[in-house]
A and B are shown apart, each in its own frame.
Chain A
């Protein structure tokens, strides 16, 4: 059908296929995640942002792929971490990498900024949810824009927001309270933000707490750190202390 005919006053830019949803399809796919990853954590510190995510991809309850990194260095200014369906993350990663390549080939010295990528991702995910074919992923976008650290989340519906501490999945229940406590205490006692080292220690502690109780978590993980003039990813491993396990009572 001609796009002109489909135009209705409400459509700003005419998006073809906007009314074509999965309800007409016989086969519906991608409605449930298959190869999944668990929580991601992100915290803002005084001069940048740190993200943490383990490297396990589960297939149901099987710990399927144990070395699947999911912190992506987009450019010298942005890192992105993903949780949820791993293949959807890989798809987005390929598209983002292509965007960055296209941008680089312009050779104008201008690169993408974190808020731009955050908004772009929210539009991509919202568009897919509106087609009822969601990308089953949650993304954290971290970076520094105009010397101000930025941390934002987008979920599979396109729900986007920014905050100083974000955690998804089980992390939202187990790690987020610890992160909020650390940040609030620092603000109340010293009227300042966490330092880089404090932020990293906080994330390490949170990953350990998650490892003890999140059955889909893993002891190998990565921390990505972005500051005004550096971006790095560290590979880390937990040293869990299972001696404490015997102190847990009531589950026998």
Chain B
């Protein structure tokens, strides 16, 4: 005789493995430079975790990754990339070129196609000809080479702004470093006014042949 009492199906309780921790990225590439910037606010819901968490990850002397979305996935993904780059360096005695990192990142993201890294990535760097290059991603690894992009919580606010300024640039009329930097600053100040998940500070990296220049701009802190 079966003495086991049927208590019905186990209760389906929900654990949510993703969090939306906010943050935005803007990046613009030019003839001999690439600029990538992120805000430094890390938040969840109405709560600000910290006001000084940069979302830029320097991968080599000429490539920087901007990474926003679910912060725990960001940490995991960037750690894996950095380990892979180290392996590559030790195997080949060469630092990986940005176009190869771009493919690696796409493969990494797609490896978790059915439990994705909830992360928006922008990879900026200088290609083998010394020209600025930029790759924009979706969370499951779609990769596109672009000239400018905005992503993260304020991506939808800043992308049309960049479109209006840079959308119909031609090779005869390339964007200068000064212009790009001021566009980045303006995009973030505007986003900081309307998006509660973007604010506090902007950190930017300008990647050029002779190194990476870093700077900070203050944003609204409320």
Task: Enumerate chain A interface residues (CB-CB to B < 8 A).
Answer: 8-13, 21, 26-28, 31-32, 122, 126, 129-130, 132, 134, 153, 157-163, 172-173
Task: Report yes or no: B15 in contact with A31, Cβ–Cβ below 8 A.
Answer: yes
Task: Report yes or no: B10 in contact with A27, Cβ–Cβ below 8 A.
Answer: yes
Q: A27-B10, A126-B76, A163-B50 are in contact. Are A10 and B111 (CB under 8 A)?
A: yes
Task: Report yes or no: A158 in contact with B15, Cβ–Cβ below 8 A.
Answer: no
Cβ contacts under 8 Å, B44 to chain A: 159
Q: A11-B111, A27-B10 are in contact. Are A161 and B49 (CB under 8 A)?
A: yes
Once the chains are docked, how many angstroms separate the CA of A57 from the CA of B60? Answer: 47
Interface residue? B52 (CB, 8 A):
yes
Task: Report yes or no: B115 in contact with A130, Cβ–Cβ below 8 A.
Answer: yes
Once the chains are docked, how many angstroms separate the CA of A26 from the CA of B8? Answer: 12
6 smallest beta-carbon distances between A and B, as pairs: A10-B111, A158-B72, A163-B50, A10-B108, A31-B13, A157-B72
Interface residue? B93 (CB, 8 A):
no
Which of A10, A160, A161 has the most B CB atoms < 10 Å from its CB?
A10
Task: Report yes or no: B72 in contact with A126, Cβ–Cβ below 8 A.
Answer: yes
Q: What is the minimal beta-carbon distance from A85 to any residue of chain B, in angstroms?
A: 12
Once the chains are docked, how many angstroms separate the CA of A153 from the CA of B84? Answer: 26
Cβ contacts under 8 Å, B10 to chain A: 26-28
Interface residue? B100 (CB, 8 A):
no
Interface residue? B176 (CB, 8 A):
no
Interface residue? B47 (CB, 8 A):
yes
Which of A26, A159, A173 has the most B CB atoms < 10 Å from its CB?
A159
Contact of A31 among B14, B84, B87, B115 (CB under 8 A): B14
Interface residues of B in 100-151 (CB under 8 A from A): 107-112, 115
Interface residue? B12 (CB, 8 A):
yes
Cβ contacts under 8 Å, A126 to chain B: 72, 75-76
Once the chains are docked, how many angstroms separate the CA of A31 from the CA of B13? Answer: 6
Cβ contacts under 8 Å, B51 to chain A: 163
Once the chains are docked, how many angstroms separate the CA of A246 from the CA of B66? Answer: 53
Task: Report yes or no: B115 in contact with A10, Cβ–Cβ below 8 A.
Answer: no
Q: A12-B83, A21-B115, A122-B75 are in contact. Are A161 and B13 (CB under 8 A)?
A: no
Interface residues of B in 1-57 (CB under 8 A from A): 10, 12-15, 17-19, 21, 42, 44, 47, 49-53
Task: Report yes or no: B112 in contact with A172, Cβ–Cβ below 8 A.
Answer: no
Residue of B nearest to A9 (CB): B107
Once the chains are docked, how many angstroms separate the CA of A12 from the CA of B105? Answer: 12
Task: Report yes or no: B111 in contact with A9, Cβ–Cβ below 8 A.
Answer: yes
Q: What is the minimal beta-carbon distance from B8 to any residue of chain A, in angstroms?
A: 13
Once the chains are docked, how many angstroms separate the CA of A148 from the CA of B83? Answer: 27
26 CB-based A-B contacts, threshold 8 Å: A8-B111, A10-B107, A10-B112, A12-B83, A12-B87, A13-B83, A21-B115, A26-B10, A28-B10, A28-B12, A31-B15, A126-B76, A129-B17, A130-B17, A134-B15, A157-B17, A157-B19, A158-B76, A159-B44, A159-B75, A161-B42, A162-B50, A163-B49, A163-B50, A172-B47, A173-B47
Contact of B49 among A10, A21, A153 (CB under 8 A): A153
Additional 17 contacts, C-beta under 8 A, given A126-B75, A134-B15: A10-B109, A12-B83, A13-B83, A31-B13, A31-B15, A122-B75, A129-B17, A129-B72, A157-B18, A158-B75, A158-B76, A159-B44, A160-B75, A161-B50, A161-B71, A162-B50, A172-B47
